[in-house]
């Protein structure tokens, strides 16, 4: 069964609709799946999520969440989805406890009734339940926002860049929470600009400039990358990148951690490449084969 079905969904902004934020997007998310929308700022992720949570009307196409149309049945959808926007949007002058009770009341429920769902998350901020939400740290705000999005026990949870601006420890804790929620049967759609988080999802959609470039499991996405990638480094990384991109055997080269990932053309010769780089004055050269990542796949798809 599909929890989310998106069919040629589009959204534009501006007086003449000249800014195409979402361009004929189509994909499906199965019930109980953790699905990631991966893309940089400005890709259209927030506009997509706002349409799926009935906060924006699409210009074209259609979509359904848990069997309800996002336009015709928007009231039904609002009762059964949870939405955590990228920007902290709870009431900052209310305490942790007051925010949670407020959102529970809106959905005609109580914190006690659904406490089992948020317990593992809420216990981490419960010692600060009387503190104003605006005075919480980034990680605590994140946990409070997630608790409020879950308090009515939604069937589908939308999380818009929930780990942006959060420290590495809080990011890891957050994904552990999502795994726990997935085990309880909640369908989760999460957007993120962090490519390393793609591997934590069941399936992902790579998004850029309003379009979905590819959809599949992380293994399927990287498995579609057929070219050879070399990891190359030297004592002068800036000059090295220029030299790599100027080489006829190199399809593309870009920085990737401490190495430059170098996509090679067919029938290349590694020894010839090393000789070329040495002749260009690069020293302490390291050239090694490396496996493609989701980021490599994204870089390649952007250029097609």
| Digit-coded pLDDT (tens) for 273-292 | 999 999 999 999 999 999 99
Is 88 in contact with 51 (CB distance < 8 Å)?
no
Global pTM exceeds 0.85: yes
Per-residue pLDDT tens over the stretch 246-263: 999 999 999 999 999 999
- pLDDT, greater one: 299 or 167: 299
Directed axis angle between helix 270-279 and helix 237-245, to 10°?
120
For position 169, what pLDDT does the model report? 82
Positive/negative CA dihedral, 179, 185, 191, 196 = positive
Rounded Cα distance between 272 and 96, Å, is: 63
Q: What percent of the chain has pLDDT over 90?
A: 81
Q: Is the pLDDT of residue 304 over 80?
A: no
Is 256 in contact with 213 (CB distance < 8 Å)?
no
Q: Tell me how many helices (H) and strands (E) the chain has.
A: 10, 14
Q: What is the DSSP string of 141-185?
A: HHHHHHHHHHTT--SEEEEESTTTT--HHHHHHHHHHHHHHHHTT
Q: How confident is the model at residue 236 (pLDDT cuts 50, 70, 90)?
A: very high
Per-residue tokens: 137: 């740290």
Is 174 in contact with 142 (CB distance < 8 Å)?
yes
For position 78, what pLDDT does the model report? 93
């Amino acid at each position: 069964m599909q929890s989310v079905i998106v069919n040629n969904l589009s959204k534009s902004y501006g007086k003449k609709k000249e800014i195409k934020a979402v361009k004929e997007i189509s994909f499906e998310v199965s019930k109980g799946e953790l699905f990631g929308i991966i893309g940089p700022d400005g890709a259209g992720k927030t506009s997509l999520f706002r349409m799926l949570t009935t906060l924006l009307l699409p210009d074209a196409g259609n979509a359904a969440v848990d069997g309800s149309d996002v336009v015709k049945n928007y009231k039904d959808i609002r009762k059964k989805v949870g939405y955590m926007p990228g920007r902290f949007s709870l009431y900052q002058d209310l305490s942790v406890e007051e925010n949670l009770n407020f959102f529970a009341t809106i959905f005609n429920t109580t914190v006690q009734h659904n406490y089992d769902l948020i317990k593992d998350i809420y216990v981490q901020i419960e010692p600060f339940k009387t503190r104003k939400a605006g005075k919480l740290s980034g990680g605590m705000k994140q946990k409070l926002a997630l608790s409020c999005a879950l308090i009515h026990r939604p069937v589908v949870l939308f999380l818009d860049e929930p780990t942006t601006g959060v420290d590495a420890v809080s990011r890891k804790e957050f994904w552990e929470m999502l795994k726990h929620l997935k085990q309880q049967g909640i369908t989760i759609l999460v957007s993120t600009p962090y490519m390393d988080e793609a591997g934590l999802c069941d399936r992902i959609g790579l998004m850029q400039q309003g379009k979905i470039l590819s959809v599949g499991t992380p293994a399927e996405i990287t498995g579609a990358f057929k070219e050879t990638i070399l990891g190359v480094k030297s004592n002068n990384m800036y000059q090295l990148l220029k030299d790599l991109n100027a080489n006829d055997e190199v399809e593309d080269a870009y920085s990737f951690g401490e190495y430059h990932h170098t996509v090679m053309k067919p029938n290349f010769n590694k020894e010839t490449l090393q000789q070329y780089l040495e002749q260009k004055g690069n020293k302490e050269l390291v050239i090694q084969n490396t496996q493609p990542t989701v980021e490599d796949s994204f870089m390649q798809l952007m250029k097609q």
